[in-house]
Structure 1
Amino acid sequence: MNRRKLVEITGIVQGVGFRPFVYGLAHARSLSGWVCNDAHGVTLEVQGDDPALDGFLHALTHALPPLARIDRCTVTDRPALPDERGFAIRQSQPTGDACACISPDQGACPACLADVANPLDRHYRYPFTNCTHCGPRYTIIRRLPYDRPATAMADFAMCPRCAAAYRDPLDRRYHAQPVSCPECGPQLTLRGPDGRPLAEREAALAGAVAALRDGALVAVKGMGGFHLMCDAADAAAVARLRALKRRARKPLAVLCRDRCQAEPLVQASEAEWQLALSQARPITLMRKGKAVLAPNLAPGVPYLGLFFPYTPLHQLLLEGCDRPLVATSANRSGAPILTEGEAVLRELGHDLDLLLDHNRPILHPCDDSLVQIAGGRRQMLRLARGYAPWSPPLSQPLVAPVLAVGAQQKVNLALAFGRTRLYGPYLGDLGSLAMQQEFETQLALYRDLYRFRPALLACDDHPGYDTSRWAQAQADAGLSLLRVQHHHAHLLAVMAEHGITGPVNGIAFDGTGLGADGTLWGGEWLRADVHGCTRLGHLKPFRLIGGEQAIREPARLLLGWLLESMSPVAIRALRLPAIERLGEARFANLCQLWRLGRNAPYASSVGRLFDALAALLDVVETLDYEGEAGLLVEGAAMGAEPLPMAFALDEQGVFDAASLLPALLGPAPAGQKAAGFIAALADLVARLAEREPGLPLVLAGGVFQNRLLMEQVAARLPTPFLVSETLPLNDGGIAAGQLWYAIHHPDAARPGLTHE
């Protein structure tokens, strides 16, 4: 007896070969029915006898295509249709409010790279080869359902052979929306710095390869934006690139052809290689090896960011150049990623040698993801290409749509509506009008895709952040607004990833964020749940002499820390190089600012303590980028025997770094002092864990990106602890934490706040 089932599926099931997968399952079991995309995901009806139906439904959820993910699968009975024959893939049904998940862009799959390398295949050496298992998704989508007319490929008419593959449910390019070939798809153009076309197609690729081998600086249009590229062993080319980016010392990522080419450059575990070579192809931080590249690639720091080609274009470039290349986003520091050739020429053209362009539009910029292995676990430092948008499902539907906007740095958007929760890709720091426009543009994408109109907003407590000001303006127009304390949000992001509501024993160590008492926090011990937090303890505060200026000049932080326990005369007697360079007049002026408290706020920040230590050890004078001091201290500590020292911890939970000074001011080598400081911090974490043994331990904040610290914490704690592996521990996770707070706020379930 035939039975019929209606199956409704949500998750990542569009643009990943899900319909042909369903077709194949039904065809193999001689089942009848149909399948189609709709605004919610995939809907199908299937009919046949019990054994075949049971086998179909089991395979449907247990043998998914590589990029697919099912969040919810609802099966209901339908009346059988006695005259139905065969199984069909129907046209998409773009009706109702969209909630289908957007797949992140994915690196080229082995099958497509094999096609590109095969002289007998029609995709031979074609830079835009892809299939349902790989290629762009997020960066080319206009609307849902995800079909070719709704993408940046709408204007590329398929040739007969591509059209045949696109329409064949048994072909791996069936409904691969960017499918194309040299006859009908996007093409390369090599342009001079004045914009003049110099070569097309294969000749354009050859021209770019020759220029890169000859030391040129070339802008290359990739999947989510332009890269600036040059020979990674050419110090002069790297110096030119740094001048163009206005990035003096911040490490630059290196693109390698394959593992064989990369292995001499780094010391890496098998887990790190597997992560770097996964289909997401993230930039992966690994310890530097013995092979020498340009010394100005990542000066003074112990790690090198390596990644591998994730498009056929990158693969062809690397094969042609036969050497590692610097590949960093084509934008000046603090500006948005550039996605159009004309913008690159306008902003950077006079400093470039060549531009390798193509005519497939990038609708939504997306940076490269940045990851590492720390304490035996993956850490996401930048959530972007290959991983974002990330859309973990909600177990219960929301009535009110929620938007969380993050902090000021490393901003991304986080939103939830119905059963959908979505974390957008990394945007950057909102310090410029152009970056604020990018924020608005990404929000408009979600508004258009999902008809998303937030009724409830969440932002940081700090009223001066651009995100907070934006949220307040929306609240002034009638939306409900929740403000979430910065370090509470850090902990909530970890809790969100693990799906817990608390209470937890939370340790949040970062740079600075506005505390609940109006002072600057950054070394916090909190008991937290989804409704609030209690401050159990903190680092004993010290003054940031000069406020924001102190963050750029660590000697000011060092002086502010020392003045908490020493007189100016005693400090001068130490003859520390960082203090000596201030000169007598400036030293006296800074001490006066400290005494008066004028533009010298107190901060309980472990991140700023790392900066002060970097000045004490004389490993840096002025900071070029966020986290530089921590990386330099970590580099100094590697391989050194830790000098014994410990934080003082009182009954009120205040931990005082002054107890470290006798060891740090002694005659031991800088490496031993750095190693001792990190060991003392790991010991402190273990001691704080012991004080709340009945609660899960959650670690959050950018300080826990320190790999030595995480390894030592993992070694000291007798029971597992919780950290993020997919959401960033740094401020890139703040929006996710704010969202988790808002989801559990009573307003999120208030019937009056509805999704329009």
Structure 2
Amino acid sequence: MPGRAIRVRGVVQGVGFRPTIWRLARQYGLRGEVWNDGQGVMIHAIGDADDLDAFIRQIPLQLPPLAKLDSLDVTALAPTPDYPDFRIVGSQLNGMHTPIAADAATCPDCLAEIADPKNRRYRYPFTNCTHCGPRLSIVKQIPYDRGNTSMAAFPMCPACQSEYEDPSDRRFHAQANCCPLCGPAVWLEDNQDRLADNFDPIDRTAELIRQGYIVAIKGLGGFHLACNAADDGAVYRLRQRKRRYAKPFALMAKDLGSIRRYALVNAQEEQALQDKTAPIVLLRAGGETLATGIAPGDEKLGFMLPYTPLHSVLLAALDTPIVLTSGNISDEPQCIDNADAKLQLAGIADYWLLHNRDIVNRLDDSVVRFMDDEMRLLRRARGYSPEALTLPTGFETADEILAMGAELKNSFCLVKHGQAVASQHIGDLESATVQHDYRQLIALYQQLYDFRPRHIVIDRHPGYLSSQYGQTLADAGRCELVETHHHHAHLAACLAEHGVALHSKPVLAAIFDGLGMGEAGELWGGEFLLGDYKSCTRLGHMQAIALPGGNQAMREPWRNTYAQLRHYFDWPALQQDFPDLHIVQFLADKPLATLETMIAKNLNSPPCSSAGRWFDAFAAALGIHTARIDYEGQAAIALETLAASRFNGNTPYPDAWEAGVENGMTVLSWRGLWLAVLNDLKHDIDTAEIAARIHHSLIEACVSLLLKLSAETDTDCIVLSGGVFQNRLLLEAIGHALRATGKTVLSPISYPMNDGGLALGQAVIAAAKSLE
């Protein structure tokens, strides 16, 4: 009888893949073996030729929920061994390593068990199987066996061991398998000690939340702080104690029907909410209202559904959604350790719902938003990392590259054997605790993937802590150090995730963000580029305007307003023409003489072409967070929210922008727009209409310039990326307008368009250079 050797690569270990193959082989009457090895899974199958062909065709169609198939290669098996039946055999490691699956939301089968009073896992908060549950959050090293996870502390009872050893059971080799007799336990504490065990700790937690208390809950990848989302007082207290005064809170509801009471949900958003990745989905608020402090000044609500059995049992006992925000003091990472949480969250939480399964690797909740007909990742973490991306054609031999990422929203990325593995969202490296996590995770990923870099890639900004640590690693490991251009990396990341081949012709790109370092040390952020993986050329940009106070101007929008106005107008004359405007009176009370000296002498006032600061300037002019913002992007988000209410049916201001030429590049300047906005403010025009027309004016200018550059460069593919394109109005309107002229428009989907996706771009730029 004929035989086949079938090599399978991808996320195929620890996800129930071998039992699936075992059942499929038995279905087709085949003999042989299946085993894990360092490349993935190997199958030897012997049987009738038609049955073999049918079996092979079914493999990609019968994947277990957490598996991901990268390749399936079939060769003849000769001579054919004498197998008596089809068996699962032990792993055969050969020095290589295969991907670890991402943590996954509780599967329907496990949910049914915890809801069944007759099941031995009824209401058990750590129920899982090969189709769901913890993965990256509990692993310490490879191979991914129970002994190398935080489940090693919990020997399985005979019943669980029997499931673990039975290939017909969905818990076959489920490394986190457990039950109430042998697994982790949950308990409740107040700020003094553990509470008595004569009540159910999860039901008691639900009751405390109903009463208005704040509870710290140890979850899958870190602690959360929870309170009743309908209780104004509880939400206010949480904001004050956490010192998170304005940034929206994430919410969790028990089911889709509960979410629909408070938000509008389309088909794609519904699918995302119910996906195994279980991200926070940003939805448009609509229907009943929650506490006023949930999302101040924002039309969106960030909802997720329960993704662990603990969450499911807790939410089943509650009639209203809960706030479920990261368990930390503002700007610090989530707590993951019980003792640390008791210390760090003292003064914030009233109670702690704890358990004794260690969280090895911190995982934030992922965030998605439906924009421009796609569900787009804004934060990539739990449920997605460490899923690998097979790089496009031409990158097959790319190897041994470590990209260090950015300063804010950091993640890093490694490239091995033509695949890119981006880490989970780590956070802002300004925090010493985040820096510690960053270094630990780099070391862990190197161990998990048996990875030793030869090329280390950094952003060219010398002040980035990621760049400084990359330099340290390169020196210690004698690696080649590759510096990349910030906005080129945004462009390259988008090309990579869309599968654009290495040697494809250059594309046009509009890259809009807060700021990044340009080619000669300038600060960029509103850029029009022509580039591919190897290089990019700046063809145009937003008008560069002074950034008075440097980083201070990122926190105080009025500084950007003044810098824009004094650039385009004579300030004393402007004061005379518009003496009653709020923004003019507000600025008159500021130390403008000092700012003028700083700008004139270029003292901590670098020119900056940032689209993010452009939005801040107009927001402040309209009285939106004029004095100060509490979190990155707050003013721009509020301006988008205001504009959305009047966006449809509005038009750009006439003569709002001018495309001049400076140093051979097209420069968009905005004197006309500022004059129109000031005049509308003078005549008390509704600020929502003004905000909408500001957006339309920028959209018109961008589309016009991109079409002009497209004709000049004979380039019909255009990338839109950078954090500013998280503005839905901007992304959709520019994208639709360009597509209407026949252009191909690419923008990030599976990797963040903000700096969270930068490491992927850095990695493929270095890969392209290494393959020259």
Q: 2: distance between equivalents of 1:54 and 1:240?
A: 63
Q: Deviations over 1:350-396 (max 9, x none)?
A: 33211101111111110000010111112211001111112012455
2:559 is the counterpart of 1:556: yes
Distance (Å, rounded) in 1 between the aligned partners of 2:312 and 2:75: 47
2:574 and 2:338 map into 1 onto residues whose CA distance is 55
- Aligned partners of 1:270, 1:647: CA distance in 2, in Å? 38
Partner residue in 2 for 1:698? 719
Please tell me whether residue 586 in structure 1 is matched to residue 591 in structure 2.
Answer: yes
| Deviation per residue, 1:238-282 (Å, 9 max, x gap) | 122222322110111111111111112112322222222222111
Q: Are the aligned partners of 1:426 and 1:732 in contact in 2 as well (CA < 8 Å)?
A: yes
SS of the residue 2:195 aligns to: strand
TM-superposition CA deviations, 1:442-496 (whole Å, max 9, x none): 1111121122111101111100000011112233332111111111111111011
Q: Distance in 2 between matches of 1:311 and 1:200?
A: 22
Structure 1 residue aligned with 2:127: 129
* 1:676 paired to 2:675: no
Give the distance between the partners of 2:373 and 2:27, measured in 1 at CA. Answer: 43
In structure 2, the residue matched to 1:753 is none
Query: Secondary structure at the residue paired with 2:90?
Result: coil
1:637 corresponds to = 643
- Distance between the aligned counterparts of 1:385 and 1:399, measured in 2? 27
Report the Cα offset of residue 134 of structure 1: 1.0
Instruction: Report if the CA contact (8 A) 2:496-2:764 is conserved.
Output: yes
| 1:188/1:201 contact within 8 Å kept | no
Q: 2:631 aligns with which of 625, 635, 641?
A: 625
Measure, in 1, the Cα distance between the counterparts of 2:463 and 2:386.
27
Do the aligned partners of 1:370 and 1:380 also contact (CA within 8 Å) in 2?
yes
Of 733, 737, 749, the residue aligned with 1:716 is 737
Aligned partner (choices 154, 173, 176) of residue 156 of structure 1 = 154
Match of 1:233 in 2: 230
Deviation at 1:563, TM superposition (A): 0.6
Moved more, 159-168 or 435-444: 159-168
How far the C-alpha of 1:82 sits from its partner, in A, is 5.8
Q: How does 1:249-288 map to 2 (within 5 A)?
A: 249-288=246-285
Amino acid at match of 2:363: C
Listed one character per residue, the Cα deviations across residues 224-245 of structure 1 (whole Å, up to 9, x for unaligned) are 1111101111122112222232
Superposed CA offset, 1:574-629 (max 9, x none): 24323423444613322332223221111001110000011000011211111111
Q: Please list, as runs of the form range in 1=range in 2, the aligned pairs for 1:736-751 lying within 5 A after superposition.
A: 736-746=760-770
In structure 1, give the amino acid aligned to 2:758: I
Distance 1:589 1:214, change over 3 A: same
CA contact (8 A) 2:398 2:767 kept: no
Give the structure 2 partner of residue 192 of structure 1: 190
Report the more deviating stretch, 623-632 or 154-163. Answer: 154-163
State how 1:166-565 maps to structure 2 within 5 Å.
Answer: 166-194=164-192, 196-200=193-197, 203-394=200-391, 396-398=395-397, 400-477=399-476, 478-500=478-500, 501=502, 502-565=505-568
Structure 1 residue runs without a partner (length 5+): 750-756
The 3 A distance-change label for structure 1 pair 682 and 737 is same
Partner Cα distance (1:22, 1:458) in 2: 40
Match of 2:669 in 1: 656
CA distance in structure 2 between the partners assigned to 1:201 and 1:134 by the alignment: 31
Quickly say closer, same or farther: Cα 1:82–1:593, change in 2 above 3 A: closer
Q: Secondary structure at the match of 2:84?
A: coil
> Aligned partners of 2:148 and 2:591: how far apart in 1?
61
Maintained 8 Å contact 2:160/2:178: yes
Q: Which amino acid aligns with 1:9?
A: V
**Overall identity of the aligned pairs, in %:** 40
Which runs of 5 or more structure 2 residues have no equivalent in the other structure?
none
CA distance, structure 2, for counterparts of residue 317 and residue 94 of structure 1: 41
CA contact (8 A) 2:403 2:457 kept: yes
Q: Distance in 2 between matches of 1:200 and 1:638?
A: 51
Closer, same or farther: CA 374–199 of 1 in aligned 2, 3 Å: farther
Measured in 2, the distance between the counterparts of 1:232 and 1:549 equals 33
| Aligned residues: CA RMSD | 1.7
The TM-score with structure 1 as length reference comes to 0.96
Return the alpha-carbon distance in structure 1 between the equivalents of residues 434 and 65 of structure 2: 34
Query: 2:367 touches 2:380 (CA, 8 Å); kept in 1?
Result: yes
Say whether 1:666 aligns with 2:665: no
User: Are 2:652 and 2:700, in contact at CA under 8 Å, matched by a contact in 1?
Assistant: no
Q: Residue 255 of structure 1 contacts residue 324 of structure 1 at CA under 8 Å; is this kept in 2?
A: yes
CA shift for structure 1 position 201? 9.5
Distance of 1:330 and 1:571 partners within structure 2: 48
Deviation readout 1:39-64 (Å, 9 max, x if unpaired): 22112211112112111111122321
Mapped to 1, the partners of 2:348 and 2:484 lie a distance apart of 44
Closer, same or farther in 2 for the Cα pair 1:146/1:218, shift >3 Å?
Answer: same
CA distance in 2, matches of 1:155, 1:91: 23
Match of 2:728 in 1: 707
1:616 matched to 2:613? The reply is: no
Cα pair 2:99 2:449 within 8 Å, conserved: no
How far apart, in 1, do the equivalents of 2:309 and 2:640 lie?
37
The alignment partner of 1:489 has SS state of helix
In the TM superposition, residue 737 of structure 1 has moved relative to its aligned partner by 0.5
Partner of 1:577: 582
One-letter code of the match for 1:25?
A: L
Separation (CA, whole Å) in 1 of partners of 2:51 and 2:126: 39
Q: CA deviation at 1:80?
A: 4.2
Q: Note the alpha carbon deviations across 1:402-448, whole angstroms, 9 max, x for none.
A: 00011100000100112332011100000022111111111111121
Question: Among residues 727, 734, 738, which one is paired with 2:758 in the alignment?
Answer: 734
Q: Give 1:314 deviation, angstroms.
A: 0.5
Q: 1:713 to 1:462 in 2, by over 3 A?
A: same
The Cα shift of 1:643 comes to 5.2
C-alpha separation between the residues in 2 aligned to 1:59 and 1:200?
50
Tell me, what secondary structure is at the counterpart of 2:188? strand
Shift in CA distance, 735/83, structure 1 to aligned 2, threshold 3 Å: closer
Regions of 4+ moved over 6 Å? none
Amino acid paired to 1:538? H
Distance 2:542 2:725 in 1: 15
Letter of the structure 2 residue corresponding to residue 74 of structure 1: D
**Match of 2:424, SS?**
coil
Q: Secondary structure at the match of 1:7?
A: strand
Tell me, yes or no, if the aligned pair for 1:649 and 1:656 is still in contact at 8 Å.
Answer: yes
- How far apart are the structure 2 equivalents of 1:49 and 1:714? 53
Preserved CA contact (<8 Å) 2:506 2:532: yes
> In structure 2, what residue type is equivalent to 1:603?
C
- TM-score, length-scaled by structure 2: 0.94
Contact preservation (8 Å) 1:379, 1:705: no
Contact 2:34 / 2:89 at 8 angstroms: preserved in 1? yes
Distance in 2 of aligned mates of 1:711 and 1:268: 18
**Distance in 1 of aligned mates of 2:677 and 2:403:** 42
